[in-house]
C-alpha cells in the first residue's frame, strides 16, 4: 500500500512539474479621469482631467476611487492583453491601427445611415486595432457637442476635406 501511494505521489509530482505554464488574458482600458470634487469645490468651468492605462474596468475604477461624486470616468479604448499584471506590472500598450485610413487629429464625418450621430463632424482622438472584430477603431471627440466622445469602426467614417485657405487680397 505504501509503495502504491508513493508511486501516485511521484506521478502527481511529475505531472505538476511537466505541465506547461498557463497563459492568462485580461482586458486593458484607456480611461479619461475627471476630478469632479475639485470642480465643484472651486467652481471651475472645466474640470482637471488625466488619462490612465489600467486593467480595471471603468465601473470598478469609479467605485474604488471615490465614486461618481468625486471622479468622472470615460472609457477611451479597450483591448485584450495576454500575460500577467501581478506585482504592479504595467498593462500592455494599445495596439496600433493596421493600414489606417485616418490618423489622430483628422477631422471626420460620421456616415452611419439613420443613426443619431449621422453627419456629425468630429476630430480623431484615439486610433487602435481591435483584433476581435478585425477592424480599426477610432475614438472621435465632437467639440461642438459639448465634447461628446464616441468610438466608431473605420467603415462608418469619412474624412472631411481640408478647409480652403483664405486668400489675402493683394495690396
Give the pLDDT confidence of 39-69 residue by residue, as tens digits: 888 888 888 899 999 999 999 999 999 888 8
**How far is it, in rounded angstroms, from Cα 103 to Cα 157?**
12
Give the pLDDT confidence of 82-137 residue by residue, as tens digits: 887 778 888 999 999 999 999 999 999 999 988 899 999 999 999 999 988 899 99
Residue the block writes with cell 478647409 = 163
Please tell me the pTM assigned to this model. Answer: 0.76
- For 95-161, CATH number out of 1.10.150.130, 2.30.30.50, 3.90.79.10, 3.40.190.10 equals 2.30.30.50
Domain ranges of the chain: 22-94, 95-161
Q: Specify whether the CB–CB gap between 140 and 90 falls below 8 A.
A: no
| Residue 16, φ and ψ in degrees, nearest 5 | -70, -35
Amino acid at each position: 500500500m505504501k509503495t502504491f501511494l508513493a508511486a501516485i505521489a511521484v506521478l502527481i509530482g511529475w505531472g505538476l512539474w511537466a505541465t506547461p505554464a498557463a497563459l492568462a488574458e485580461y482586458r486593458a482600458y484607456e480611461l479619461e479621469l475627471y476630478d469632479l470634487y475639485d470642480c465643484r469645490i472651486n467652481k471651475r468651468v472645466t474640470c482637471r482631467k488625466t488619462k490612465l492605462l489600467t486593467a480595471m474596468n471603468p465601473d470598478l475604477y469609479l467605485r474604488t476611487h471615490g465614486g461618481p461624486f468625486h471622479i468622472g470616468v470615460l472609457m477611451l479604448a479597450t483591448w485584450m492583453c495576454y500575460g500577467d499584471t501581478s506585482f504592479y506590472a504595467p498593462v500592455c500598450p494599445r495596439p496600433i491601427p493596421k493600414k489606417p485610413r485616418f490618423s489622430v487629429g483628422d477631422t471626420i464625418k460620421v456616415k452611419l445611415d439613420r443613426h443619431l450621430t449621422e453627419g456629425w463632424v468630429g476630430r480623431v482622438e484615439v486610433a487602435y486595432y481591435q483584433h476581435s472584430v478585425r477592424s480599426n477603431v477610432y475614438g472621435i471627440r465632437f467639440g461642438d457637442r459639448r465634447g461628446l466622445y464616441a468610438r466608431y469602426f473605420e467603415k462608418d467614417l469619412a474624412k472631411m476635406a481640408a478647409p480652403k485657405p483664405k486668400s489675402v487680397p493683394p495690396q
